[in-house]
Amino acid sequence: MGISGFEPSFLVGFEAIRQAHGSRLATLAGRRLTGFAVVRFAEDGDWFSDCPVVLDFDGVQVEVCHGKLDELSIGWDTIDTAVGIAGWEWFELTPQWSQRDERLESFVGQELREVALLEWRPAGRDLAAGTVAVEFAFAGNCLRIANGLDENRIEVGGVQPDHVRRWPRR
């Protein structure tokens, strides 16, 4: 993707993700969201949802990126958003880091209460069944980065009924 420092380690399934990242995600509780970065196209400002969503919690950077139909990569302090995105000369649009996103802006400065892993478990057959979302709970609202079937989807507010909280258990 031409993103400096981004070397995704995609995992599939709730248990693999919890084992690899659960304890570290838990340590984010009590920290403030001090910044974020997403990739947008310079020409039209559209969000490029294939690229990681980078959240900074008081100097600890978590990088969330969904891929394919069921993969999730969570990185820690590897992406340098100050460095431009390279290698896109063949593409008609220019991706660049942005600290602008109306879904994320209201969370900046807020203390993180908890991080949870949610699994998509629909009642019927669904191509997205088993995908895992990362939920960041703040005092007044929640932010989720979910699998949009081969890309990231940012959700704010109440959780969809088919998202089942798997970790931590209440």
Residue 170 has pLDDT above 80, yes or no: no
Across 71-84, average pLDDT = 96
Across 9-31, average pLDDT = 97
Identify the helix (H) or strand (E) that includes residue 20.
helix 14-26
CA separation for the pair 79, 46 (Å, rounded): 21
Cis link prior to 168 (omega < 30° from 0)? Answer: yes
Give the pLDDT confidence score for residue 142 in this predicted structure.
Answer: 97
Mean pLDDT estimate for the chain: 94
Enumerate residues 6+ apart whose C-beta is below 8 A from 26: 115, 168
pLDDT bin (cut points 50, 70, 90) of residue 77 is very high
Residue 90 has pLDDT above 80, yes or no: no
Please state whether the predicted TM-score (pTM) of the whole model is above 0.85. yes
Residue 1 has pLDDT above 80, yes or no: no
Closest CA relative to residue 82, chosen from 68, 99, 60, 107: 99
pLDDT digits (tens, 9 = 90+) for 112-138: 999 999 999 988 888 888 999 999 999
